[in-house]
Amino acid sequence: MSDIIQLLPDHVANQIAAGEVVQRPASVVKELLENAIDAGATNIKLLLKDAGKTLIQVIDDGKGMSVTDARMCFERHATSKIKKAEDLFNLGTKGFRGEALASIAAIAHVELKTKEEHQELGTCIKIEGSKVISQDVINTAKGTSIAVKNLFYNIPARRNFLKSDTVETRHIVDEFLRVVLAHPNIAFLLHHNNNEVYHLKSTNLRKRIVAVFGTKMNEKLVPIDEQTDILNITGFVAKPEFSKRKRGEQFFFVNDRFIKSSYLNHAVVNAFDGLLEQGTHPSYFLYLKVPNHTIDINIHPTKTEIKFDNEKALYAMLRATVKHSLGQYSIAPVLDFERDATLDTSYHQTKNTSSASVPKVLVDPDFNPFKEAKQSEIRFPFKREQKNEQWESLYTSVLTSDDKQEELFTENEDKVQKTFQIQRKYVMSLIKSGVVLIHQSLAHQRILYEEFLESITVKEANSQQLLFPVKISFSSQEIEMIYTIKTELENAGFSFDEFTKDSVTIKGIPVSVTESKITIILEELLSDINLEVPDTSFSHFDVMAKSFAKTLAIKTGTKLSEKEQEALVNDLFSCKEPNISPFGKSTFKTLTLNEIDNLFNS
């Protein structure tokens, strides 16, 4: 039998490695930004075209590379960050993956320009599909510029799996924000299709957070600062009243590296115990500093998950620190055993040392309990200030004729209750063949979904004008997203007055929406759109109608009157597709009399 095992060619091995390193354009952005930071850059520019599919270019003013390093950085397993295996467990840098640039060069057209500070001329290298096309000496600025063009040009199957430009841009912005929030001392610039998206100057952490998420974020933040032998915690948490329905503004950084940790997230949520509304999540920006040898960052390919040596201690310290800060800034109630007891008394009373005033009782001097009087002339010794209350009228129904009393207990067949609410979750309706059990929340979602979809796509929705326009703050990315769907929102009944870089003013809302829910609705909508946005315009309408329906539908635990129950049943079965919710779940189940009988006969 002939031998069948063989070594892969380098260009094939690089393409396979690229599958681990480069999942989408955002992966390239992450690698290049981290390399720029490790190079000591103070200014970093990120230029994109077509959500990174056509161009991803990162320009930095770091230390640059020599001619040899410029060529070596595209070789597999080449890195300047580690020299022996033990270095993997004591890493203080970000980009150290040996196959990163080699993998990127295997699936794109790459152009590298770099120059060290003490050199007069720099180096320009062009690579296509792992093959070096040219290497020249050029005149360029200090630092490095890497342009990645036509990503996945030689792997069309991978390119076809990429999502729409909107979705891919969102992933890139997510990676970009994780880097800029970890390094507020570095200036960043992000351009997409020649439009400036972010222009962030070198600043402190608080100002960087406000610059990213809008000026209103400043009033939401509560500072966190705790220094211990094994852990230093700094950063901010948002006040409980600004908690969100989604977990978009939750950031953990360990040694300036963004991580995801459900375990540490539980510690923060635990610190907010009793302060959050049900179904909401706290926002936080927390920076942990631990010794490098106490963590392992190699347990996940994207290095967003970390293994800690002493997780339980970190959990307890993080929870206690957040809870202490919330109490220190009067966000959460705290016990203070050294409180001055005089503080429990009002300042006015303490200063004047006057006793509390005695309430006056008005007595009727003409009252005589021994005087005979008719029932209608009965008087009481204490005068009532409200003279026209005529409370006796409450009892007139008891003094009516016997015929009227009998009507209270006579069952009227026309008023037999046909619907019943079960555990404030289901509505049971009687039908000839048995009963129908309706999930009230899912049924209401279906009703609202069809109403909104018809309003947005077929007829002009009714809008109610607000007496005072409402100004809502969002991040610049969210403002841009709202502006792109402005027409669809107006079709749904919203009316806008002004758009700024970090806020939007609303002067009209759909009739079915209350003013108090405007922010919640828009936040939910942006989150739903972020999950997936196909390119067709109808999909925008569909996502919007689903989001509105999910947010505004009655929730489990809501008590419904008999009329509300009947209206829900009638509206549901007037829908085009009453049997499923907008998200594919059953809205009702039918039980026939035979099925009910079988429950007792089995």
Note whether 461 and 509 are within 8 A (CB).
Answer: no
For the residues 422-441, what does the mean pLDDT come to? 89
HEC string for 398-409: CCCCHHHHHHHH
| More confidently predicted of 245 and 249 | 249
Cβ neighbours of residue 510 closer than 8 Å, sequence gap 6 or more: 455, 461, 462, 463, 464, 492, 493, 494, 548
Q: In which residue are the tokens 């094994």 written?
A: 230
Under CATH, which architecture does the 212-328 domain have?
Answer: 2-Layer Sandwich (3.30)
- Could you tell me the residue ranges of all domains in the chain? 10-200, 212-328, 428-572
Note whether 150 and 49 are within 8 A (CB).
Answer: no
CATH number of 10-200: 3.30.565.10
CA angle 476, 482, 483 (to 5 degrees): 90
* Percent of the chain at pLDDT exceeding 70: 76
Residue 340 has pLDDT above 80, yes or no: no
Pairing of strands 122-128, 109-115: antiparallel
Select from 3.40.190.10, 3.50.50.60, 3.30.1370.100, 3.40.50.2000 the CATH code of 428-572: 3.30.1370.100
Give pLDDT tens digits for 180-239: 999 999 999 999 998 888 999 999 999 999 999 888 888 889 999 998 888 899 999 998
Q: How far apart are CA 538 and CA 569, in angstroms?
A: 29
| Backbone angle region of 423, left / alpha / beta, with phi > 0 → left and psi within -120 to 50 → alpha | left
The torsion defined by the Cα of 208, 483, 50 and 156, in degrees rounded to 10, comes to: 110
Residue 515 has pLDDT above 50, yes or no: yes
Under the banding of pLDDT at 50, 70 and 90, the label for residue 52 is very high
Give pLDDT tens digits for 534-561: 444 456 678 888 888 888 888 888 899 9
Under the banding of pLDDT at 50, 70 and 90, the label for residue 47 is very high
